[in-house]
Amino acid sequence: MEFNPADNIQDLQYFGEFGGVNPSISDSSTYTFIAAKSMMDTFEGNLEGCYLYSRHSSPSNLYLGQALAAMEGTEAANVSASGMGAISSVLLQLCSQGDHIVSSRTIYGGTYAFLKNFTPKFGIETSFIDITDLEKVEASITKNTKILYCESVSNPLLEIADIKALSKIAKAHNLALVVDNTFSPLQISPAVLGADVVIHSLTKFINGTSDTVGGVICGSNDFIDSLRNVNDGASMLLGPVMDSFRSASILKNLRTLHIRMKKHSENALYLAQRFEQDGYKIMYPGLKSHPQHELYKSLYNQEYGFGGLLTLDAGSLEKADDLMELMQERNLGYLAVSLGFYKTLFNAPGTATSSEIPVEEQKTMGLTDGLIRFSIGLDNDIERTYQDMKYCLESLGVATLVKI
Ligand code: PLP
């Protein structure tokens, strides 16, 4: 049977303590033991099924983790308080002093800053490379390399990682392939394509209501257990734990992710096609002009489309700023970082979500000043949105600047 992430979520069955249709929320930080010996056994990892302390695990977090593991097709998952909590735990769990990471250079600015400025303090070095150049990827691997790191669809340039090919390279060199799938939940299933660990910022599409931050690590039972180990587990010891009330609310939102993702993708494709026809400089994986359109098609779960993110180059930072302010004034969306909301969100990543990346490096990777990243919302009438956005572009003269 073909792998379908949304069906896997749907197939789970939960009952609450009193037969409720939602699992009960575990409103406790600590748990009692009837026998003192069971507490000791649980600490030592020799007793399954007992809860110890909510930084280690809690029923609510395990429910959400189970649903996200089902979505990604992994054995297990561990939720965390934020996407960065998930990313930092994975990288520090897998690497020790003297180790090396090969990472895509087009990644979320926070991840870039963590690898560039923070992990070197612990003797962990990173080479940032063009992940679409497989020869370069292979050439950057050293005898100390432990991790190959990328985003399935990169933030903000929407480059596509060839996960199947990267997985072959990782296996040949005994590396862990770690993929951040935040931009493409349901559309791309990295673990099914060969990734060892899949990470999400739940803050974005998966939660979808922009009311919390959250993260998840999906992987093998052994890896997830190692993260929770009381002696040397990064999730347990660094402590980025999610609160039970939040995991319960994210689980409820997760159940409608498939409907939302289809609408985000449908709306983004519509706008991308219309604006490209009008001559604007648009980047969207669903357009034939996207350099990796065919690659994306070879990786995706078709029914969820090409995703909710697109970029438009307004030509200059000034134009980009004027355009974003005008669009917000006309209630076409919000000038805000983050993504996956019901409203369209937009920002100029060079000065916002990717500002941690030095300007010179932004230039080499093709991140221009005027680039606006859009997370397209769930607008009911996307033609109406198109007409209004077009009015904004034309009234600011953006068209004459970047017409191709
Ligand atoms: N990964 C990607 C691709 C992101 O865009 C972000 C945040 O913008 C993160 C990770 C970090 O997630 P969080 O803000 O939940 O820590």
Residue ranges per structural domain of the chain: 5-254, 258-402
Q: State residue 399's pLDDT score.
A: 61
What is the Å distance from ligand 1's center to 355 Cα?
14
Locus of tokens 């950057």:
140
What is the Å distance from ligand 1's center to 108 Cα?
6
Q: Is the CB of 340 under 6 A from ligand 1?
A: no
Which atom of ligand 1 is closest in space to residue 87's alpha carbon? 10
What is the Å distance from ligand 1's center to 17 Cα?
34
What letter represents residue 367's amino acid? L
Rounded to 5°, the CA angle 102-156-173 comes to 15
Classify residue 19 by burial, with Cβ atoms within 10 Å: 0-12, 13-18, 19+. exposed
Q: Is the CB of 345 under 6 A from ligand 1?
A: no
Q: Is the CB of 184 under 6 A from ligand 1?
A: no
What is the Å distance from ligand 1's center to 104 Cα?
15
Residue nearest to atom 13 of ligand 1 (CA): 83
Of 212, 304, 323, the residue nearest 263 (C-alpha): 304
Of 109, 57, 105, the residue nearest 79 (C-alpha): 57
Residue nearest to atom 5 of ligand 1 (CA): 108
3-state class of 11 per DSSP?
Answer: coil
Q: Is the CB of 57 under 6 A from ligand 1?
A: no
Report the phi/psi class of residue 65: left, alpha or beta, with left for phi > 0 and alpha for psi in -120 to 50: alpha
- The count of other CB atoms within 10 Å of the CB of residue 33 is 15
What is the Å distance from ligand 1's center to 83 Cα?
5
Q: Spell out the per-residue pLDDT of the chain, length 404, in tens.
A: 689 999 999 999 999 999 999 999 999 999 999 998 988 888 877 777 788 899 999 999 999 999 999 999 999 999 999 999 999 999 999 999 999 999 999 999 999 999 999 999 999 999 999 999 999 999 999 999 999 999 999 989 999 999 999 999 999 999 999 999 999 999 999 999 999 999 999 999 999 999 999 999 999 999 999 999 999 999 999 999 999 999 999 999 999 999 999 999 999 999 999 999 999 999 999 999 999 999 999 999 999 999 999 999 999 999 999 999 999 999 999 999 999 999 999 999 888 777 878 888 888 888 889 999 999 999 999 999 999 999 999 999 886 444 44
Which atom of ligand 1 is closest in space to residue 85's alpha carbon? 16
* Eight-class DSSP state of 302: G
Structure tokens at 272: 């991308």
Q: What is the CATH number of domain 5-254?
A: 3.40.640.10
Class at the top of the CATH hierarchy for domain 258-402: alpha beta
Residue nearest to atom 15 of ligand 1 (CA): 83
* Eight-class DSSP state of 304: G
Cα gap 71→256, rounded to integer Å: 13
Which atom of ligand 1 is closest in space to residue 107's alpha carbon? 3
The dihedral sign for the CA sequence 101, 106, 107, 109? positive
Cα gap 67→64, rounded to integer Å: 5
- Per the CB < 8 A criterion, the answer to whether 242 and 214 are in contact is yes
Residue ranges of alpha helices (H) inside 54-179 are 59-72, 83-94, 109-113, 134-139, 163-172
Q: Is the CB of 110 under 6 A from ligand 1?
A: yes
Residue nearest to atom 4 of ligand 1 (CA): 108
User: What are the CA-CA distances from residue 92 to residues 86, 89, 99, 292 (Å)?
Assistant: 10, 5, 10, 31
Q: Whole-prediction pTM value? A: 0.96
Cα gap 48→27, rounded to integer Å: 21
Condensed to tens digits (0 to 9), the pLDDT of residues 177-202 reads: 999 999 999 999 999 999 999 999 99
Cα gap 52→233, rounded to integer Å: 15
3-state class of 53 per DSSP?
Answer: strand
Beta strand 215-219 pairing with 282-283: unpaired
Condensed to tens digits (0 to 9), the pLDDT of residues 16-34 reads: 999 999 999 999 999 999 9
